[in-house]
Amino acid sequence: MKRGIQILLLFISIMGFAQKPTVDTTQVVIPNRYNSVDAQTKPYVIMISTDGFRYDYAKKYHAENLLKLSNEGVQAKAMIPSYPSITFPNHWSLITGLYPAHHGLIDNFFYDYKRKEFYAMSDKKNAEDGSWYGGTPLWGLAEKQKMVSASLMWVGSASDAGGERPTYYYPYHEKFTPSEKVDKVVNWLTLPMDKRPHFISLYFPEVDGSGHHYGPDAKETEDAVHLVDKAIGDLVQKINNLGLKNVNFIFVSDHGMIKVDGGAPLEIPAMLFDKERFDFFNSQTLLRVVIKHQEETKAVYNELKAHKTADYEVYLDKRLPKYMHFGIKDDQYHRIGQILLIPKAPKIFLEKGKKTSVGKHGYNPRLVPEMKATFYAWGPEFKSNVVIDEFTNVNVYPLVAEVLGLKVDQPIDGKLKVLKGILKNK
């Protein structure tokens, strides 16, 4: 009898393993794509994002390679994320030059009332549906102008957003190690000139994952910084060994990280749980309220304002500070909501019975320094030994386009004049 039970349990285990969905790690290649003769003469740009790499992490944890490379090139004191300082909105801002309210990815999770659909970053169908994404990503700009591009796991790179996917890309997964990603980038750069990508976007999630689970001051986060730093050093060395001319690197992050007060979270006002009147969307560092009956907006705002605590602010969408670019005048896709409840760091909103992580982001980076991101650039196109002041991340887009010789052919929020001074001969 015991033997029979063991066999049954083994069978169930095998069946359960067999039914687990397999992860597609196969590269996708768009056929019949070639660099034009003109594109083959242009520089190369490798744009690297390390998720959650706070502006001070390189020095805090002595990231040897990044410190050396940035000291030889250009380093910003910090880069200011777009609001809210969340992963998907900011990766799409970096790659389109648009603020989140202008490109439509206003959060990692949101509801579109016109489409009557939810968007969730973890939903593969959403992630690869370009109709959710506004703007033209840099790889799309390059492809339209006959320049081959490639992407390793950047937000939206497996979608047809802007009309064109990269020539080479992978559906998102986290099976590749940093060293494996490095080798794939190097392999792209060994392709024949007409097939070789001149713009490559590369994404590392490890630092953000450690920051969330253990906090920004943990040994695990330090180890993740060193892991990525080693990968960057290896990448640069291996590309140097190829002997290619004019390869340029831009290292960025989407946001920083802070340890939050998870032990004493803020209570969500009870009135907001009335589903006949409200929908609310809580990312814990920002709570967005959609009022279903527009005529109630002012009264609801006044009531929320009257009962708020000192640990958070209540804003009408039209009264949000203009520099945040997240109010009603900016909300081009009508996805944000009429009222915003914004906790003061390190406080968070948390529904009863739900858990939070040790580290979080999403706060206003102009008020919470820990939200600030990183920007380094080095290579033949960039000046050497230059330190620049803080700037907003939407300005990276026109900088990359300028280096690659691409014409920006649609309105963006970024301005070339902000970063043009870090380029040689400009």
The answer to whether 260 touches 358, Cβ cutoff 8 Å, is yes
Q: Cα–Cα distance between 176 and 280 in angstroms, integer?
A: 36
Count the neighbouring beta carbons within 10 Å of the beta carbon of residue 282. Answer: 18
Architecture per CATH, 28-259+365-422: 3-Layer(aba) Sandwich (3.40)
Q: Counting beta carbons within 10 angstroms of the beta carbon of residue 176, is it exposed (0 to 12), middle (13 to 18) or buried (19 or more)?
A: middle
What does DSSP say about strands 28-29 and 168-169: parallel, antiparallel, or unpaired?
Answer: antiparallel
**The one-letter amino acid at 248:** N
Q: What is the dihedral of CA 60, 66, 69, 71, to 10 degrees?
A: -10
Listed in sequence order, the residues at least 6 apart from 245 whose beta carbon sits closer than 8 Å to its beta carbon are 380
DSSP string of 290-352?
Answer: EESSGGGHHHHHHHHHHH--TTEEEEEGGGS-GGG--STTT-TTS-S-SEEEEEPTT--B--T
pLDDT score at 17: 43
Pick the CATH number of 266-356 from 3.30.1360.180, 3.40.50.12280, 1.20.210.10, 3.90.1150.10: 3.30.1360.180
Question: What DSSP character marks residue 379?
Answer: S
Three-state secondary-structure class, residue 173? coil
Residue 206: which residues within 8 A CB-CB, separation 6 or more? 50, 51, 178, 224, 227, 228
Q: What is the pLDDT of residue 6?
A: 47
Q: What is the pLDDT of residue 31?
A: 97
Q: Which amino acid is at 225?
A: V
Q: DSSP letter for 132, please.
A: G
Beta bridge partners of 423: 382
- pLDDT score, position 403: 98
> What is the pTM (predicted TM-score) of this model?
0.93
Domain map (residue ranges) of the chain: 28-259+365-422, 266-356
Element (H, E) at 416: helix 416-419
How far the first Cα of the chain sits from its last, in Å, is 82
Question: Hey, how many other C-beta atoms are within 10 angstroms of the C-beta on 114?
Answer: 8
CB 81 within 8 A of CB 372: yes
pLDDT in the model for residue 353: 87
Render each residue's pLDDT in the chain as its tens digit; 426 residues.
444 444 444 443 444 444 455 778 999 999 999 999 999 999 999 999 999 999 999 999 999 999 999 999 999 999 999 999 999 999 999 999 999 999 999 999 999 999 999 999 999 898 899 999 999 999 999 999 999 999 999 999 999 999 999 999 999 999 999 999 999 999 999 999 999 999 999 999 999 999 999 999 999 999 999 999 999 999 999 999 999 999 999 999 999 999 999 999 999 999 999 999 999 999 999 999 999 999 999 999 999 999 999 999 999 999 999 999 999 999 999 999 999 999 999 999 999 889 999 999 999 999 999 999 999 999 999 999 999 999 999 999 999 999 999 999 999 999 999 999 999 986
